[in-house]
Amino acid sequence: MDVITLKQEIIEYSKTIGIDKIGFGSADVFEELKERLKVQQQLNFQSGFEESDIEKRTNPELLLPSAKSIIAIALAYPSKMKDAPQSTKAERRGIFCRASWGEDYHHILRDRLQKLEAFILEKVPHARLKSMVDTGELSDRAVAERSGIGWSGKNCAIITPEFGSYVYLGEMITTIPFPPDTPIEDQCGTCNKCVEACPTGALVQGGQLDSNKCVAFLTQTKGFLPEEYRVKIGNRIYGCDSCQTACPKNKGLDFHLHPEMEPDPEVVKPLLKPLLQISNREFKETFGPISGSWRGKKPIQRNAIIALAHFKDESAIPDLLQVLKEDPRPVIRGTAAWALGKIGREEVLEDLQKANEREKDEEAQREITASIQVLLEKGLA
């Protein structure tokens, strides 16, 4: 079979299995990306979540010998939630970013890629194929850009003309020499809205991210959050969408093409206080199916405490005091102490002083001492 016909058949088939956009690119070395990754590494701008071997990241042949092409796929996800519960004064809520709504997207895209692999292997049994989504070595965005899925925006996202940037990306390296598609021209122009909207200045310039400052990254760390960022993350308990919601290319776009991507509003906009005491089992049952739980419950709980401080939720004081007294993890105790300093008044001073005497962890103790100081100053004012 000739590759042009096969390409057409693949495109047609992809539409029947819930792939919203498909593109083809060569498996040549990603030279520009290689330089970019080196720069990012030198500047210490990387998150540490990406594959560290730059050669593997940029040379598809190292991942699949005799690689000739890459098939890129994109699936659009919803940007608006139906029946979102309100965050009220009595019942404050946190928010998971849109990329964590519904079933974990890794499963959904892998399912589509497996179907596509089976289809291709039926036509070309000797073909060799290697698929990946997010956790693979390749840069999903660089592949998507090369394959004509979308352009690389100043917010770093791949923006498709059809679905905006709310698309998940995945790809398949193949040994079949498919004719490549043409990349889409940059359409950001003079717009700079995402850079201006970023709460932490993480977009140091259009298309360049310092991950260490990015709220999406910070919500996924497990240690103490530097104080300057605690006040910036607001009620985001996983991920951040600000540079995408600000983007005019996403305006009015909201796709509900995949039932499994529909969020459970109570899960992705959860009540904050119950998160503080949630058991491992309950956490796994409730949040296990969504991608935002991949770092476990500790970062989510830490972020929930920060969100309660953001809301200055006085009704959370008993919960925070309990955490301060009983939680076995210093990060959680220390962050609760910080939150009590933000929310509380003199009435929590005694508890903080007792906690200070008990505390064995140096960092947690530093947080408690700082919090006592804040409260004393409040009392004097």
- CB closer to ligand B12, 39 vs 121: 39
Q: According to DSSP H, which parts of the chain are helical?
A: 3-16, 31-42, 54-58, 60-63, 105-123, 140-146, 193-197, 215-218, 227-233, 242-245, 265-268, 280-287, 297-310, 317-326, 330-343, 349-358, 362-380
Q: From CA 74, how far away is CA 135, in angstroms rounded?
A: 16
Q: From CA 214, how far away is CA 226, in angstroms rounded?
A: 12
Tell me which residues in 39-78 interact with ligand B12 (CB under 6 A): 40, 47, 49-50
Does residue 184 touch ligand SF4 according to CB under 6 A?
A: no
191 annotated as belonging to a binding site for a ligand: yes
Q: Which amino acid is at 14?
A: S
Report yes or no: 66 and 21 within 8 Å, Cβ to Cβ: no
Stretch of 77-85, 107-115, 213-221, 345-353 lying at the interface with ligand SF4 (CB under 6 A):
213-221
Does residue 248 touch ligand SF4 according to CB under 6 A?
A: yes
Residue 192 interface partner, choices ligand B12, ligand SF4, none, CB cut-off 5-8 Å depending on type: ligand SF4
Stretch of 84-92, 138-146, 259-267, 294-302 lying at the interface with ligand B12 (CB under 6 A):
138-146
Stretch of 105-113, 150-158, 304-312, 338-346 lying at the interface with ligand SF4 (CB under 6 A):
150-158
Does residue 216 touch ligand SF4 according to CB under 6 A?
A: yes
Report yes or no: 115 and 3 within 8 Å, Cβ to Cβ: no
Residue 212: how many other CB atoms lie within 10 Å: 18
Does residue 271 touch ligand SF4 according to CB under 6 A?
A: no
Cβ within 8 Å of residue 272, ≥6 positions away: 92, 93, 94, 235, 237, 304, 307, 308, 311, 313, 316
- CB closer to ligand B12, 30 vs 338: 30
247 annotated as belonging to a binding site for a ligand: yes
The correct pick among 95, 113, 116, 156 for binding ligand B12 (CB under 6 A) is: 156
Does residue 20 touch ligand B12 according to CB under 6 A?
A: no
Catalytic residue status for 134: yes
The correct pick among 10, 22, 27, 37 for binding ligand B12 (CB under 6 A) is: 37
Secondary structure letter of residue 154 according to DSSP: T
Q: How many residues in total does the chain contain?
A: 381
169 annotated as belonging to a binding site for a ligand: yes
Query: Can you name the residues that pair with 72 across neighbouring β-strands?
Result: 23, 171
Stretch of 55-63, 116-124, 187-195, 259-267 lying at the interface with ligand SF4 (CB under 6 A):
187-195
Q: From CA 159, how far away is CA 151, in angstroms rounded?
A: 5
Nearest to 210 by CA among 58, 51, 43, 48: 43
Does residue 134 touch ligand B12 according to CB under 6 A?
A: yes
Q: From CA 333, how far away is CA 325, in angstroms rounded?
A: 8
Annotated binding site for [4Fe-4S] cluster: 188, 191, 194, 198, 214, 240, 243, 247
Which residues contact ligand SF4 (rule: CB under 6 A)? 153-155, 188, 191-194, 198-200, 202-203, 209, 214-216, 240, 242-243, 246-249
Query: What residues make contact with ligand B12 under the rule CB under 6 A?
Result: 32-33, 36-37, 40, 47, 49-50, 97, 99, 133-134, 136, 139-142, 145, 152, 155-158, 165, 167-170, 207-209, 211, 214, 216-217, 239-241, 243
Residues annotated as part of the active site: 134
